[in-house]
Structure 1
Amino acid sequence: MNKTIRPLTTDDYPLFEAMDTGIDGDYIKLYFNRFASGANKLYGLFVDGKLASMGGYSIFAGRYAMLGRLRSDRRFQGKSLATELMTHVRQEASEVEGIQWVGANTEEHNQPARRVLEKIGLTSTVIQHAAIAKDVTALEHRRKVWQEVDSFERKKVWLEKVYLRDKNVFPYQCYYTFPASEALFENEQIDRWTFYENHTQNRVVIVKHDQKRTHYLHMAYPWSDFAEQEGLWETVSMAREDLEDRLGEETYVWFDVPKEEATMLPEHHPFQLNSIWVLYEAK
């Protein structure tokens, strides 16, 4: 058996399309060119000239390398090829200039991918729901919306206090949560994000636009009292409606909820909690 590993290019799409992965409607088919270029890298492990396993990484904020896009051809399973490939991908990612964190994010039920990540030396750290809802008015308390933070310096104070000082993870994009660092909070990003603080100024919610096929108002709220904070959901609901009006397209709320805290949502909450993601990182 002749095995080789090499980077994939946009010209390799037919090789990927010929793989028997068993995944219907694979989103990678839509975005293969994007994942094989720019800040994204794809690698293929070939067996006797056939693409048997594929995986790669994406770079975020110049510091974080997120491994992913692992696909295996079912005709080559049982040979530890995915582990061999992802060992190579992890090494390649760690050698990129400026990279200080290497990790991965995969669904909780994806046991094959989780086994591969653990075999290459990654450890699970955070398990959370990707909670998605169109309408969050059912969570409102009929209270006033929170005050928007206009001061750039005040925004930075909140980020330092809530994320950097407490070493919390930060939901940088939908699907992509990272341990907080200054690299995530570049001035240009902070300018694009909207901050709202409650009237006693001891809570803040950060909202930002993201698109993963669908448009989302991606909210960051790191406290576990989200069900009882008066005015929080009025604020989020208002922000979602404003974003939908600006975009002219249907927009949903995306809220990353730690798995152990999801039970704190009211019984008849509006969120879909089907998707549970596990964040892994190299120690």
Structure 2
Amino acid sequence: MEKAIRMLQSNDYPYLEAMDTGIEFDYITSIFDRLVAGNNRLYGLFLDGQLVSMCGYSIYADSYAMLGRLRSDRRFVGSGFATELVSYVMNEVFQLNGIQWVGANTQEHNISAQRVLKKIGLTPYITLHGALTKDTSTLESGAKPWQPVTDLKRKKEWVNKKYIQTGAIFPYECYYPFPASADLFQEPDLETWSFFENDDQTRFLITKYDQKKHHYLHAVYPWHDITSQPGLWETIANNYRKLRRQTDGETYIWMDLTREEAQMLPADHQFELPSPWILYGTDKSR
């Protein structure tokens, strides 16, 4: 049998259609053209001209790459093709100029994907719920919302202290958290993102707009005391209402919560807590 791995192009879509993945409604089929262009790439492993495994990556902030879109033909599961392909793609990514970190985000129940990631040398960093809600009233106390931070220097001080110096996980986009470095905090983003701090300037919050399938107010708060900071949820709620007036589709608040943070939520909270995602990765030095 003849085996080959190559980068996919938009005219390779029929090969994807011919795969038996067992996924009834696969979002990849509707955005295939976008996944082979720009900062996205797809690779395929072919056996005698048949696509039997597919994997790709996306580049973020010029130095991070997230592996994903792993698909395998069920008729070839257990052959090791998925591991071979993902390993190949990871090595290709690390050859790109500027890439310092490669990872993957997979749902907790996806044990087969986790096995592949561990085999290629990726290690788990953190497990996070992508918590969604339209109603934060059970977390609000009527406290005064926090003050906006508009000074770019002050914004830089906050992210440097809580993220860059510590290497803490920063939710750069919905579904895409990364171990922090200065590359994640470019001035155009810092100017666009909304920052708020409490009266005694001991806490700060970032809110930013994101769109995947729906519209999101992505709230980023780098402390675990999410239920005991007066004004935190009033600030988030105010920003959510502003965003909702500007969008014409389903609009949610998204907050990345650890398992422990999710357990802190009051019993009557209105968050959806889907299956958590596990972030795996490795940096170039390793």
Q: TM-score, normalised by structure 1?
A: 0.98
Decide whether the 8 Å contact of 2:109 with 2:275 is kept in 1.
no
Instruction: Tell me the equivalent position of 1:19.
Output: 19
CA deviation vs aligned residue, 1:33-61 (integer Å, no higher than 9, x gap): 11111111100000111000000111100
Which amino acid counterpart does residue 234 of structure 2 have in structure 1?
A: E
Structure 2: runs of 5+ lacking an equivalent: none
Larger deviation: 24-33 or 236-245? Answer: 24-33
Q: The residue matched to 2:170 in structure 1 has which SS?
A: strand
The percentage of counterpart residues that share the same residue type is: 53
Instruction: Tell me the equivalent position of 1:198.
Output: 198
Matched, 1:32 2:32: yes
Whole-Å separation in 2 of the counterparts to 1:103 and 1:31: 22
Instruction: Tell me the equivalent position of 1:161.
Output: 161
Superposition deviation, residue 229 in structure 1? 0.9
Q: The residue matched to 2:249 in structure 1 has which SS?
A: coil
Instruction: Tell me the equivalent position of 1:68.
Output: 68
Instruction: Tell me the equivalent position of 1:224.
Output: 224
Q: The residue matched to 1:159 in structure 2 has which SS?
A: helix
Whole-Å separation in 2 of the counterparts to 1:275 and 1:212: 18
Decide whether the 8 Å contact of 1:131 with 1:275 is kept in 2.
no
Instruction: Tell me the equivalent position of 2:267.
Output: 267
Superposed counterparts of 1:155-194, under 5 Å? 155-194=155-194
Whole-Å separation in 1 of the counterparts to 2:43 and 2:271: 36
Superposed counterparts of 1:33-112, under 5 Å? 33-112=33-112
Q: The residue matched to 2:124 in structure 1 has which SS?
A: strand
Q: The residue matched to 1:218 in structure 2 has which SS?
A: strand
Superposition deviation, residue 234 in structure 1? 0.6
CA deviation vs aligned residue, 1:71-105 (integer Å, no higher than 9, x gap): 00101111011001001001001111000001111
Whole-Å separation in 2 of the counterparts to 1:251 and 1:239: 12
Superposition deviation, residue 250 in structure 1? 3.2
CA RMSD of aligned residues (A): 1.0
Superposition deviation, residue 249 in structure 1? 3.4
Decide whether the 8 Å contact of 1:129 with 1:256 is kept in 2.
yes
Larger deviation: 9-18 or 172-181? Answer: 9-18
Instruction: Tell me the equivalent position of 2:123.
Output: 123
Superposition deviation, residue 23 in structure 1? 1.0
Q: The residue matched to 2:31 in structure 1 has which SS?
A: helix
Whole-Å separation in 2 of the counterparts to 1:202 and 1:258: 21
Which amino acid counterpart does residue 44 of structure 1 have in structure 2?
A: G
Whole-Å separation in 1 of the counterparts to 2:242 and 2:248: 10
Q: How many residues align?
A: 283
Whole-Å separation in 1 of the counterparts to 2:120 and 2:174: 25
Structure 1: runs of 5+ lacking an equivalent: none
